[in-house]
Structure 1
Amino acid sequence: MNEHKTLAELREKVGSAELNGKVAIVTGAGRGLGRCYALALAAAGASVVVNDADEKAAEGAAADITEGGGKAIAAPGRVGPEAEAQRLVETAVAEYGRLDIMVTNAGILRDRVSWKMSEEDFDAVIGTHLKGTWTCGKAALQQMRSQGEGGRLILIGSPAYQFGSFGQSNYAPAKAGIVALARTWSMELSRDKITVNVVVPTAMTAMTATIPVYKEWAEAYENGLPLPKVARTDHALGSPEDVTL
């Protein structure tokens, strides 16, 4: 999608480097919103571990950061298993010495109406979104608690959890579970000064472009045209940078 802001462009918008010395992991950061989150964190001064299931995409996003003068390392892999989450945290600590921020953005879609959805499609989406958020968050909070200096867990939700979504009886409940998880973690971690927040984005990315009603807008946006006013006013749909900044 039309999303390739440079680190320099984001640095101008972010302003002060208030995250100097901080270390962040962003899952699913090879493209779309995840890439923008990673670049924005780097623009604010953080060192970033860029995760994505697509190795080339992870390496490309990390290169965008380092070539722009930021600090980043690619850590490709598919989130979900606890071993993968632990590896990401170990990578951050080995490379940068600590972990302060975990953004659980990785996600997939396997859309089908419920009577046609396979168990594999259900498990894949739940495993990436909900379990992947839990395993990555768990590994991160363990590291943050051991450091004793607090931290930030930023979980990515979706309006689908609030309103339901036709053909997404896997995705919508996964996102609802993430909200419940955030509320539970916020209780468990309050004494550790680790905050937990859910961001519910609506942006034109490769994922939202698969929604039939957005097809024409997505094609125009891909070709460099701005989103129409109705997309923003009636659908609350913006760019990845609108969500990030």
Structure 2
Amino acid sequence: MKRVFWKNLYPKIDTWKKLKEEGNDTETILLRYAIAHIHELLEDNTPLYSTEEVYIAPPLTTRVRTGCILKNKKDDLYYVVLSPPCDLAVHNGKMKTDRVMLCEIDDYKIVSLEAIGSTGAAKRKKALLPAIKNNGREYYHWLPKNSIFEGGYINFRKVINYSPEELNVEFYPPELRIQDSIVKDILGRFSSYYARQGQPDFDFEKEAETIIKLLDAELVEVKS
């Protein structure tokens, strides 16, 4: 923090004073500016993440935001909010959107056991690694189990939408939230999953034979 203050913040003190005089919220501006620089410092020689870093608990605001994990009052299932931040912005006390998009979080144990399958004891860890590295089924995103949250797998296939009013009735207030850098990764994978476009089915065997015949015919012409 000292390094950021003396090398990046203090040399621009006249700028901050001017912004303050113009009526800007310099406290928030400076905080954002400092955080951006701290993030850059953390990118160098960082140790492996602790799974506890995934979650912000309790959230620092009661407002529903992208990445909030909500518990359903009826079935006690957990869901994650995946509406983009711009949709969840509040203006005059109301959300900008009329529908909030959630994805269900599937049971940690059930999905993990499915990934392991009937693999022998010696290979169970190897079988599970693709699932928790998000290299297994493309519609799952792993959320670690730890002292903060029971974990699970976000299922991109289980999408449900609620109005802001319904959300307040159907779900408890958010008790935790996934931190922003991981939320961005989840949104990226979610978008990629629904952006998939399979190519049309052709009779590839027949097409391959046709191409080979054409190539053979051209080869004969060249030789002649």
TM-score by length of 1: 0.19
TM-score by length of 2: 0.21
Higher strand proportion:
2
Higher Cα Rg: structure 1 or 2? 2
